[in-house]
Structure 1
Amino acid sequence: MTVQSIGIAVNGATSRIGYWQHMQRGLAELVRGGGVPLTNNIHLMPKPLLVGQNADLLQAAAKALGGLAWTTELDTALSDPQIDVYFDAQTDPESQADYGTLLASVPDDVYHSVLLEQHDTGGRLRALERALGAGKHILSELPATPRPEDALRLGQLAREHELVEGLIVEKLFMPGIMALKNLIDTGYFGHILSVRSEFGFWTGSGPGARTNWPDWKYRSEKGGGIVRGAVIHWQYLLEVLFGQIESLACRTATHISQRADDHGDVREVTAEDAAYITFDISDGIVVQSNFSWASRPYRNELTVFHVDGTLGSAVAGLRHCYTQSATETPPAIWNPDRPDPTHYRELWTEASMSKAVPSFPAPHVYCRQWADYLRHAATNTPYPYGIDLSARGQQVVATALQSADLARRLAVPPPQAVHQADRPS
């Protein structure tokens, strides 16, 4: 077997998502698994270079990851001929919170209670532009740029330079969602009629109640609010799974007006903590979606999609998917004076994951997307989940917020240049 190295500059490697999700549960997991199968005889071996602003944090993270190389100079990383891919996971300094100790082996005087280096997302656009100028393939966290027009320009620039550009859309690589996509692709549903989705959880409220969610998410002046936080992900989920969003009606609410901040002090909430949206999808599909940080779930997962079609239905979370075909659907017996004899949940069958979810890599969702993207970068083939999707997500978010302000349904402008994504390989 031939091992082919692929160098990756990971900028924001000491942010929460950069270290935990993309390094520990993504690239490091791929390395531990022996690389990414490219062909029968060739495996890609990721070679990460950690990039950030704080030398102490970078050194500690590099040591914990097995002695990786690191630098505080982005120009050094981009000028390195061994680097093939630039990945941006820089995070907003306002979005940092105490998520607990990152590494038990790191001395308290270096990390204290949280390793999350402060990064400036305003620099993401400039860094991605510099990476393309240096001839590197690019991958970015969502959103890729502050403005949608910049994301469209970045995607076009990458294509002009014949470089592979991609966006992190990790929810598409969750087992339950991949199983649902497989059902759609194989025609299981017949004609899809409607979709109902629920997302949310209880995040704490009231004097003395410490939230398990960073307080910036409740402050509109810091970019918070559940519409900005969740709907940008729903855009790619809905449009990849079901079709183009043509219009929507959004109703937002701030159900809990005061919440404790990260220090336990009670503050006024300035952003919505719930949104109730109806999306009209091409081919007449109606999607009803509830998003809430003020709801106690009574379901198996925090995120659930219920899809009804003429030939069958499915209920999919991020990790599991259950089905009921037309032939398995029991007749409904409506008699309010007697207990219903039908145990409806027992009549659903868990969908097989063997055809929908690849056996490699496992077990983490970030492993799957990194492997998928690296195969495209190594072969210089267009990635189906491009940075244009960031622009489209921001477009849908802006329409939802405007719909809530005007209290009426609005048409969503058609996408300008969004990749049509296939099922992850």
Structure 2
Amino acid sequence: MKKTPRPASPNLALAAELAAGPDPTAAPSLTVAMHGVTGRMGTNQHFLRSILPIMKQGGVLLPSGQHLQVEPILVGRDEAKVRRLAEEVAVEETGSPVDWTTSLEDLLDDRTVDIVFDSAATPLRPSIVRLAAEHGKAVYCEKPVATTAADAYALAADCEAAGIKTGVVQDKLWLPGIQKLRKLRDDGFFGRILSVRGEFGYWVFSGHDPDRPPQRPSWNYRREDGGGMIMDMYCHWQYLIEDLFGEIASVMTHASIDIPERIDEQGRPYACTADDAAYAMFQLQNGIVCQFNSSWTTRVRRDDLLTIQVDGTKGSAVAGLRDCWTQSATETPRPTWNPDLPQPLCFLDAWQPVADEDAYDNAYKIQWELFLKHVAGEGEFPWSIRAAAAGVALAEAGERSWKERRWVPLDGLRR
């Protein structure tokens, strides 16, 4: 492992440090082994937009007044890529290099490593998480946590038996548009919520045109590698819907493989074996119906890559990634159906933007800070591997619905 000079992470002594109060000569720190950091999500969302900004701001502020420092060790199979991130990108952003290695196994016995983070391909995740748990490391990882509900819940049980703290990325809860939508709900703006409609996706280029390379990795389109729209996005829809609107009771799904062949990272054609579009209806326990279209084969003509419309008796709202618009009952226009004449109304004019009330930070960074504080003994963290297993259960139910062409209840899949 390539190491830069740094103090040992006070893994066992951290709680004592915090209890003793601020110490101007020393700050508590956590060392994070970041596995899979050279991948698209690992590099962009977790390293560049989360960990490096936390380092640049001086750590995470704790109630004690101290700043909890984070010390990453980058882990990747491609030595050139991981070295560049650790020794060039980190220096550009923070002024100092960070440690790196090509072997996660070398770090598991290192007592200074507090957290193992994983953003590698889904099929590898259970084995990586279990290894970290066996070595007593806290675990933070991308979703899905496994490819089947049984494996996801078994993984949760193993981590609980090991007594480690776990966390799973559920970033969309902290998007500015979703935060505004949640506040409207809490303020009673909608009255009784009737229905929810989500539109997600964009056109992902197949790679056949060399001037338009794919925006997503090839494994996303191979079922054998853990790919597929249902497995990817239903894990998001589960926590988002249940946080905002209520528990999902059953699902009905149709999915498809719209683009049968794509070009991989080496320029070779490959057969797509995983769904790239999924169309779902989620029936909630409280009677609300949520419709979500998810597609990597659609061209965007809406306000954002993700929009969620909520209709209620007193008003409606449409949220994107950052913005949100509302239309109250009194502002609702009265259209007349007459296809023989041009539409006299501009329906967009009847919507009002929701003002920004806060300076919104990056959603991934917010959750990273919460997990780091949780590992340091400051604050609860409900977004555990067990909580994330419910998303895998929903994805499994969606795939079963697609194959069997029927509504599938979630009762038998949750644990």
Task: Name the TM-score, length of structure 2 as normaliser.
Answer: 0.83
The 1:135/1:144 distance shift into structure 2, 3 A limit, reads: same
* Alignment correspondent of 2:229: 226
Per mean C-alpha deviation after superposition, the further-off stretch among 200-209 and 312-321 is 200-209
CA distance in 2, matches of 1:54, 1:268: 25
Preserved CA contact (<8 Å) 2:370 2:379: no
Shift of the 337–204 alpha-carbon distance from structure 1 to 2, 3 Å rule, reads same
Paired residue secondary structure (1:83)? coil
Q: Secondary structure at the match of 1:190?
A: coil
Instruction: Write out the 4+ residue segments of structure 1 that deviate beyond 6 Å after TM superposition.
Output: none
- Contact 1:259 1:268 (C-alpha < 8 Å) held by counterparts: yes
Q: 1:29 to 1:88 in 2, by over 3 A?
A: same
Partner residue, 2:15: none
Out of 71, 91, 102, the position equivalent to 2:121 is 91
Match of residue 353 from structure 1:
356
Q: 2:86 aligns with which of 36, 52, 62?
A: 62
Partners of 2:121 and 2:226 within 8 A in 1: no
Is the deviation greater in 12-21 or in 204-213? Answer: 204-213
1:111 maps to what in 2?
Answer: none
Residue 370 of structure 2 is aligned to residue 372 of structure 1: yes
- State the secondary structure of the residue aligned to 1:48: strand
Percent of counterpart pairs with the same letter? 37
| Aligned counterparts, 1:12-27, within 5 A | 12-27=36-51
What per-residue deviation string (whole Å, max 9, x for no partner) do you get for residues 112-160 of structure 1?
Answer: xxxxxxxxx42x3233223223332211111223443343233334444
Map of 1:170 onto structure 2: 171
What is the TM-score normalised by the length of structure 1? 0.81
* Inter-CA distance 259–129: structure 2 relative to 1 (3 Å threshold): closer
**1:26-425 map, 5 Å:** 26-39=50-63, 41-64=65-88, 65=90, 66-91=96-121, 121-122=123-124, 124-204=125-205, 208=209, 210=212, 212=214, 213-262=216-265, 268-354=271-357, 359=359, 362=361, 364-379=362-377, 381-413=379-411, 416-417=414-415
Structure 1 match to 2:16: none
Contact persistence 1:249–1:279 (CA under 8 A): yes
Contact residue 163 and residue 380 of structure 1 kept, 8 A: no
Closer, same or farther in 2 for the Cα pair 1:339/1:54, shift >3 Å? closer
Q: Secondary structure at 2:120's aligned position in 1?
A: coil
Q: What's the offset of the Cα at 1:206? A: 9.7
| Cα separation, 1, equivalents of 2:182 and 2:274 | 33
Gaps of 5+ in 2: 1-21, 91-95
What's 2:18 paired with? none
Distance 2:102 2:226 in 1: 27
Following TM superposition, by how much is the alpha carbon of 1:211 offset from its aligned partner in structure 2, in angstroms? 5.1
Question: Which residue number in structure 2 is paired with residue 423 of structure 1?
Answer: none
2: CA distance between counterparts of 1:376 and 1:150? Answer: 25
Q: Could you report, residue by residue, the CA deviation over 1:328-377 in whole angstroms, capped at 9, with x for unpaired residues?
A: 223334444444443221222222332xx5x47x3x22211111211222
How many residue pairs get aligned? The number is 383
Q: Which amino acid aligns with 1:79?
A: D
Further displaced range: 224-233 or 202-211? 202-211
Greater shift, 150-159 or 318-327, is seen at 150-159
Structure 1 residues 375 and 352: alpha-carbon distance in aligned structure 2, compared to 1, 3 A threshold: farther
Residues 278-315 of structure 1: per-residue CA shift (max 9 Å, x gap): 11112111111112222211112111111111122110
- The answer (yes or no) to whether the contact 1:190–1:309 under 8 Å persists in 2 is yes
Partner in structure 2 of residue 99 of structure 1? none
Task: Provide closer, same or farther for how the CA distance between residues 223 and 317 of structure 1 changes in structure 2, counting only shifts above 3 A.
Answer: same
What are the ranges of 5 or more consecutive residues in structure 1 without an aligned counterpart? 93-120, 418-425
Stretch deviating more after TM superposition (345-354 or 264-273): 264-273
